[in-house]
Amino acid sequence: MFVGEKGSGKSSLIAKFLGDPVKEDMPETIALDFKFGKKQHEEKNQKVSIYEVGGGRVLSEIIGVPMNHRQITNTCIVIAVDLSKPGNAIDSLLFWINAVREHI
């Protein structure tokens, strides 16, 4: 699951991870987005389900939708921090850590 502030690069990171082209004019993610892909790991094809929480802090509560008690042990959380605004980086990181903790 990818979380972070609006415009922090979550969609670009997901595209890069899945091997899709990263575009300059990627559309803004609204609410919750789901992507599915396959990655090779240790010579095995692994299915990957990726959720992206869009909308920034306003929609942080929807973290709980894809994160349930059955999937929590197989969930990785990526917090994207916008380093083009270094003065907000720590505050943003702490906010998203606490938002994720509330749902764990």
The 10s digit of each residue's pLDDT in 46-92 is 888 899 999 888 988 888 888 767 777 778 899 999 999 889 999 99
Burial environment of residue 8 by CB neighbours within 10 A (0 to 12, 13 to 18, 19 or more)? buried
Set out the domains of the chain in order of their start, with CATH numbers.
Answer: 2-103 (3.40.50.300)
Rounded to a whole number of angstroms, the distance between the first and last alpha carbons of the chain is 13
- So what's the pLDDT on residue 30? 86
Asked whether the beta carbons of 44 and 54 are under 8 A apart, the reply is no
Give the global pTM.
Answer: 0.85
